[in-house]
Structure 1
Amino acid sequence: MTSGAGSTSLRSARAARSWSQADAARQLAALGRATGTPVAAAASLKTLLSRWENGHALPEPHYRSLLAELYGRSPADLGIAGPPPADAASTAPARLRAAVAAAAAVGDTGVELWWEQLAIAGRLDDEVGAAGAGELVRALVEQLDETLVHSLVAGHRVEVAAVLAGAAALAGAQELDSGRPDEAWRRYDRARTAAREAGLPEAVATAGQAAVLVDVGEPGAAVGLLERAGPATSAPAQVRLEAAHAVARAAAGDDAAARRAIAAAEQRLRRAPVDVAAPRGIPVVELADLHRWHGRTLVELGDATAVEPLERALAAAPRSVRHRAAVHADLALALAPARPLDAAEHARRARELARRIGSEQTTARLATLSPPP
């Protein structure tokens, strides 16, 4: 954590340029792009800047370098140089003992509080996405991961791993939304291993990794990943996998297989009460989700009938901002050839929601649209 003097120095450097925190966040994001340094979206950076300037957190090393370059001062001058290195030989055993003791001290109450934090983070993510909930989710994942690594009792590890599986999957969705597929892949991979240890379905994380592969132009690899996953052990998990398979097959140009997969997902959803059967921490699958996946599949196939399921997805009970942004974006793409004015309106709404949650992914999907006549 930074000192008061350090945070004042960082704030003063910004004030010297007459920048608001939003201005500084945009400048820092632009510098990250120019130097090839991975950074959060501008909206998330504004939150980080506030924490750094108020002394609530110390920037990570790559942010320290960017801030030094941005303001033309050294990290020490800005008060963000970090603590001096300690004598590793003498402190490493003490750190390990402390970490093991801290993990052992987490009882049932602590795990239950983590479940509550995850539920709160999920609700916040529904409204503001990674822009407002990203830091909260990252902190929760790091805390859970640290505890799991140092937990020695099998039963305790299972309990912690269950919460970590949900938190890491949510972090993966946020990273993909923010245009960082490499980080999304790592988060989903952690969610998969945690789910496996907890004895939970890996479907959310597997489907997430498949979405990452589709997003980076590797739908064939996504299909292979999903086929290797095999059948899921619960109805909600299997519906999610079949829908992910449909999107991946469509992106790979396999029309018949894509339609079979989405039809299988729909039949399974209508047969089983998947909204009730989902294990704790696993997002429920509702008809609105299936409509969205169905529409996305048809968009990937270039099928104009995508409009119908997408409009049903949009008309459903209130959904997350991420859901609505994705549906508006898909509607814009589906309507563009025949109804360009309607497509432009959906694109406008999608971009508006994308800005709200810091979704670089949604903005990038709309980049191929031509302006209406």
Structure 2
Amino acid sequence: MRTSISRWENGHQTPDEHSRQVLRRLYNLTNAELGFTGRSSLIVGDETAELAARLASTARVDSVLIGVFDQQTHALRLQDRTFGAATLLDQMSAHIRRIQGHLDHSMTPGVRIGLARVLADAGALAGWQALDAGAAKRAWKHFKRARNAALEAGSPILLAHAIGEQAYALLEVGDPHRALDAIQHAKSLGSHPPLLTAWLAAAEGEFAAASGNTTDALRAFDRAQQSLPTDTADEALPFLSLNDAHLTRWRGSALARLGNAEAIVDLTRAMETIDQGPFVRALTGLHADLAIAHAVAGDRDQARAHIREARFLAAQIGSQRLLRRIDRILLPGTTGQGL
């Protein structure tokens, strides 16, 4: 099969009709989109039959199946928090293609809205996973899909979350100012639930810190703390995990980015209170932030200890984003990161 694919890519051979059918179903594209020319009546007939089959299959989608898709998204989210994104990228992409395929072939308004809501959540999660794995272009496409799905679903909440997640792609490419603009837009979309309001404010604080604005960053985190509800378990917002411990970690991370001495206090408190079992990526970032904070404070030994732990955990979960961050840490008395 590898040889056949190579010959197709090099133009030495054209896929036969059986192979074309496999490729059409695999990529959810037409013959024309795949670059297959010379449309025979057989190909047209096959595509007509395929469309009829897809329409019939999607006609069986109901609220129960939409709920199953939603549960599958959340199951992938829980695995992502513990094991990282690297091992889930293909599985997540297949999950999204399945939902997108049904959405593309549904004509029932209620079903379309339900599928769009699930796709908005799944797309934002896939975007975050791709960003963490170092696939920035793929992440951007997933975020775009999530935003479009949220618009079709008519959900300002899902749209604000998708925009907030996409803003991290801007931060990753070194554009915190546009990330701030994106968060401001997300905040303006409506009156959001307290948990989402707190999450958006904390993201605003992180982006302000990345822009070097200490005052705006601290004010944003104060607003996040004020908005954070007592009960942070909101079934309507399964994509948000934010409580006092996580918010303290988030604030400490921003302070570490600013070189603020208070960072060590917040990060140490977060280390003592955060649930480390299911949140391995958060724990990895916490060690990286503590390494940065101790390095700024001139404590080389503590910084090195946290660098080693952060690198060990980042390798486990395959987080290229965090590994790059760790590699940029400057230890006291050196001109480049090193152990």
Both structures adopt the same fold (TM-score exceeding 0.5): yes
- The code of the aligned residue for 2:313 comes to L
Q: Once the two structures are superposed, what CA deviation does each residue of 1:271-319 show, in whole Å capped at 9, x if it has no partner?
A: x245234515432422222122212211222212112222233221234
| 2:123 maps to 1:163 | no
Q: Does 1:147 align with 2:107?
A: no
The answer to whether structure 1 residue 178 and structure 2 residue 133 are counterparts is: yes
d(CA) in 1 for partners of 2:138 and 2:284?
A: 21
Per the alignment, do residues 106 and 220 of structure 1 end up closer, same or farther by CA in structure 2, a change over 3 Å counting? same
Give CA-to-partner distance per residue, 1:306-363, whole Å, 9 cap, x none.
1222223322123421111111111111111321111111111111111111111001
Q: Partners in 1 of 2:16 and 2:206 — Cα distance?
A: 46
Q: Distance in 2 between matches of 1:248 and 1:141?
A: 29
Find 1:241's aligned residue among 191, 200, 207: 200
Structure 1 residue 75 displacement after superposition:
11
Q: Measure the CA separation in 2 of the matches of 1:123 and 1:181.
A: 22
- Cα contact 1:296–1:330 (8 A) shared by 2: yes
Match among 301, 304, 308 for residue 344 of structure 1: 304
**1:119 aligned to 54, 74, 95, which one?**
74
Q: Secondary structure at the match of 1:279?
A: coil
Match of 2:319 among 346, 351, 359: 359
Alignment deviations for residues 219-273 of structure 1 (CA, whole Å, 9 cap, x no partner) = 111111112221552111111111111111111122211111111001111xx24
Q: What does residue 328 of structure 2 align with? A: 368
In structure 2, distance between residues paired with 1:364 and 1:243: 23
Contact 2:196–2:240 at 8 Å: present in 1 too? no
Give RMSD over aligned pairs: 2.8
Question: Corresponding residue for 1:190?
Answer: 145
The question of whether the paired residues in 1 share the 8 Å contact of 2:197 and 2:224 is answered with yes
Q: Structure 2 vs 1, CA of residues 163 and 274 (structure 1 numbering), >3 Å: closer, same or farther?
A: farther
Q: Which residue of 1 aligns with 2:244?
A: 287
Write the letter of the residue equivalent to 2:311.
R
Q: Which one of 202, 212, 216 corresponds to residue 169 of structure 2?
A: 212
Query: CA shift at 1:83, angstroms?
Result: 5.3
1:312 aligns with 2:247: no
Give 1:212 shift: 1.2
CA contact 1:321–1:353 (8 Å) conserved in 2 = yes
Q: Which runs of 5+ in 1 are unaligned?
A: 1-5, 11-60, 69-73
The correspondence of residues 28-43 of structure 1 with structure 2, limited to 5 A, is none
TM-score normalized with structure 1 length:
0.74
Deviation at 1:183, TM superposition (A): 1.6
Structure 2 CA distance, aligned partners of 1:273 and 1:149? 40
Gaps of 5+ in 2: 22-38, 332-336
What is the 5 A alignment of 1:255-334? 255-269=214-228, 272-273=229-230, 275-315=232-272, 316-318=274-276, 319-334=278-293
Paired positions, count: 304
Aligned to 1:96: 51
The corresponding residue for 1:131 is 86
Partners of 1:82 and 1:304 in 2: CA distance: 66
Aligned to 1:47: none
1:335 partner SS: helix
Residue 253 (structure 1) aligned to one of 180, 204, 212: 212
* Matched residue type, 1:350: A
Q: 1-side partners of 2:251 and 2:144: how far apart?
A: 25
SS at match of 2:87: helix
Question: What is the CA–CA distance in structure 2 between the aligned matches of 1:353 and 1:138, rounded to whole Å?
Answer: 24
| 1:120-161 superposed Cα distances (whole Å, 9 cap, x missing partner) | 212221221112322222211111111112211111112112
Distance in 2 (CA, whole Å) between partners of 1:363 and 1:151 is 42
Aligned to 2:35: none
Give yes or no for contact 1:124–1:132 (8 Å, CA) kept in 2: no
